[in-house]
A and B are shown apart, each in its own frame.
Chain A
Amino acid sequence: MIRSFLSRYHPRYIRSLVYMLQASEYDVRDYLKWYHRTKDFTHVERRKSLVKTGKVLLLLGMAWIVLLLLYGAAIFLWWQSDALFASLLGLILLLLTPFLLAYLIVIPLGIIRFFIQLPVEYFLLRRTQQELATHKAVKIAIAGSFGKTSMREILKTVLSQGKKVAAPPESFNTPLGIRKFVNGLAGNEEVLIFELGEYYPGDVAALCRLVNPQWGVITGVNEAHLEKFKSVDAAAKTIFELADWLGAQPLYINGESNLAQKNARPGDLIYSRSGVGEWKVEDAKSDLTGTSFVLIKGNTTFQLHSGLLGLHQVGPLAAAVDIASRLGLSAQEIERGVAATKPFAHRLEPRTDQSGAVTLDDSYNGNPDGVKAVIEFLASLKDHRRFYVTPGLVEMGRRSEAIHREIGKQLAAAHIEKVVLIKNSVTSWVAEGLREVHYDGEIIWFDDGLSAFAALPHLTVKGDIVLLQNDWPDQYA
């Protein structure tokens, strides 16, 4: 209690505030929520640390000036006036300084945003829009609550076998990110792939206006970012702004996501592990070495093997094959392209440690559909002792309890031997879900993610499989 109070007077406090702003991507609402929840301000930088950008330095400087001004004012009051009232006021001001600072720091942020950032952005985006409109490449847009990055990587890998493909890398799915990407284009690209990030209604429509896509993929709709959308329907509506934009142009929809399929229009192409359009999937298998399946349409047969893990990858791969064949890639190019797909960083990425235990790093997967697919994959791996490690999922809104109980039930049904849970507000529901269906394995608790990661190498032996599900950014810890 005292410690947390004192931490507001620690020299590191200001840095912590600026870090919290940066980590919540300068979203004032997110920042304030985090601020109100935080007790100890000396330890907010757990997983990442402050990146010193120009904006950050500006904020730090301003915050220090404000702090010194407040202290100055307080001391002035206290010293100058011999009236009891004034010196008392000074003392209160002195004590309140850190609290005031936390709110005052938002003001320079607003100044930066309204007078610098927004006008510059507007100008840049107009230019980007014009440049993309005249670019000859086929533009494919990917929208969805989850699985966008995987879809982008699959498409990029497969199509690259026969076309010149470019796609903005990770975290370039905001307007400014796309601007940066367009700046770097050579002009001779044949396919451009865009991820359309969505946080609030209208986001996807705005991005469509910016990139002008001719093809679309909707990877699924679920409760991800529900804290911001309030309802799944609102999320679905935002994501399907892509469908509205495309009109009659081809749109692929993930048939394994109920919420996505529900909103599909007649004529949309539904993909799933059983096929896409007229393509039928047969003989699909997946283990630690990858996923293989046969794709058949009329007389055409593809024997495909991908390095990606899990049967839930078959649908997106099939969709990519369909797009590739429509774009005119040859059979060899398509087979080679699928063979070249391999797990992406932190998305069910396998890694074998010195002692022979296999870690499946799925820490970027934090949505219920992804979790379900992964548990299903784990269930198919026999003759291994399996560890499932998770701090739970974030931003699930009011559905959080139900979703976490369901995860518990799925884990029990899959007979996962060890469930490793990080103590927090949501994992207790996972444990309750497990107990509800009389889970026969062991639940291991840790106070925080770091101690769990430190302990895991000492809990595993050769042949064990350790799945790391989702990682919590600092603002949710």
Chain B
Amino acid sequence: MKMIVQNLAIEYRDEGSGPVLLFLHGWKDSLHTFDLLVPLLSADYRIIRLDLPGFGESEAPRTAWHVDDYAECVAECIKKLGINVGVIVGHSLGGRIVLKGIAANILDAQKIILIASAGIAERNTFRILFFRVLAKIGRLATAVPPFGFFRELLRKRLYGGLESDYLSAGPLKETFLNIINEDLSASAKMVTKPALLIWGSEDTQTPLQDGKRLATFIPGAALEVIPGSGHFVHQEKPAEVAGLIRKFAS
């Protein structure tokens, strides 16, 4: 189903009945990332999922957004649906939105769950800077006619070193840069809601180390590690993740 928020058509799903669980997916993902969790929880909870603007079947933002724009948009969706959110669950980028939204009082929920959340990685800023400068030089150099041929090749190499998602970001490029440039450590420290962190031990995109740091930032946060799982822990071990959500939500 769709709804119109901020003049964007947003795709969403509203399933089950009971206390509301709101799910937010990650970058280049969609509400379907939670498909395996829904049947495990919908008997006792009302599960609301949405495709964030720019992903799945939702329209893309018309300007470059920041994390708080996403949080504002989610808040309006909640208002439009007239619901009280019991637990808000964010995976990866969804986790950033939850952190920022809760800390800045844009979003409201009784409890929060962050699954392999992004946003507080210890960034090797020098490496990023190095690649950026190199990319700029490359762009200048390949502007000269005979070298234009190598441009795509060079671009792929360089940005590949920077961030693999960047090239495939397309029109959302600026939004992507806005998001990854925002460090949410400060936001995390301002969170006062009960929080549960779920991490896969083998996560390479947002390594477990990030989860451990995040757990120290959020007062009273519990970290549950699922051994052998990667970044998409909710797809790899849906039963375990659903069990954790259930225990924490009740």
| A and B, direct touch (CB closer than 8 Å) | no
